[in-house]
Amino acid sequence: MRKRIIPYISLLSLLLTGCNKPNQSKVIYTSFYPIYDFTKRIVGDAFEVRNLTPVGVEPHDYELTTLDLRNLSDASLIFFNGLGLEHYASSLPKDIQSKTTVVTSDIELLQIDGINDPHVWLNPLNAVIMMGHIKDKLISFDDDHAEQYEANYTAACEDFLALDQEIKDQSDGLLQRYFAVSHAAFGYFADRYDLHQVYVNGLSPEQEPSAKDMEEIAETIREYNITTIFTEELVSPKIAEAIARETGAKLETLNPLEGLSEEELQTEDYLSVMRSNFSKIKEAAA
């Protein structure tokens, strides 16, 4: 009798282990870098946080792999930006969609060319709202660590509000309120600090301007005496280079925080990149 019971007990143990595997993994997935940064700040060491979009890949264009889908099926929680940035979201299997939280609700949206601008994270006050949604979801999922999540959120808010005040104080004195970018990612940043972005490409980096559009962009750059066109590491600068040649503007880079390089991930984060971005805009406005 005893010899027959042992195999059944072993089988039951294996089945229970298999059922619990997704929760035991304690992994949270985020769709791209800003949400990864925000989630890490709130989670602390309670969960492992993994970023879905690979290093060096533009998140607007990323296509999920079979391995991605398998990993998302095993995830505890998944945080998305929404607003069309994760174009694959609506086609995800229902079991994955049920774990997904969009963290941009309650944010006042801007439109560019009649389309909702998804780059909400580039206003630090919006980032605070996004972290609040992340914190609330974590508490509802794992209330054992509620105090930790609340404390981490409070500390993060202090840092982000200090960043916002720092940029606001410095931007108030800028005489040049216009800056040019290769990709219309900085609308929320510009709106927060009473600046104006002149963009070469639209909301999608692949949305190239027509010849007429390029003439109008060049004319605007001359009209407002813009001396710098900002490109991005993850986007081809070809069209921006052509406009720079025509207008005599120089090229510099801004980081819309859609992704960091392997090297940057070791030393940079949302706060440091935002400070670097504003420092470059301020220098170009001098």
pLDDT tens-digit series, residues 254-278 = 999 999 999 999 999 999 999 999 9
For residue 125, give both structure tokens: 């006050």
Mean pLDDT for all residues in the chain: 90
| Other C-beta atoms lying within 10 Å of the C-beta of residue 11 | 10
CATH class of 19-167: alpha beta
Listed in order, the ranges of the chain carrying CATH 3.40.50.1980 are 19-167, 172-285
| Mean pLDDT of the 238-260 span | 94
Q: According to the model, what pLDDT value does residue 4 have?
A: 40
| Other C-beta atoms lying within 10 Å of the C-beta of residue 133 | 19
- Cβ atoms of residues 186 and 164 within 8 Å: no
Location of structure tokens 């639209």: 202
For residue 15, give both structure tokens: 């089945």
For residue 55, give both structure tokens: 């290093």
Rounded to two decimals, the pTM is 0.89
| H helices present in the chain, as ranges | 2-25, 33-43, 66-74, 94-97, 124-141, 146-171, 187-192, 211-223, 238-247, 262-267, 270-285
- Cβ atoms of residues 168 and 193 within 8 Å: yes
Q: List the one residue out of 179, 183, 208, 36 whose CA is nearest residue 118.
A: 183
pLDDT tens-digit series, residues 217-241 = 999 999 999 999 999 988 888 999 9
DSSP line for 91-123: GS-HHHHTTEEE--TTPPP-EETTEE---GGGS
Most confident of 58-62, 197-201, 278-282: 278-282
pLDDT tens-digit series, residues 153-174 = 999 999 999 999 999 999 999 9
Taking domain 172-285, whether its CATH number is 1.10.3720.10 is answered by no
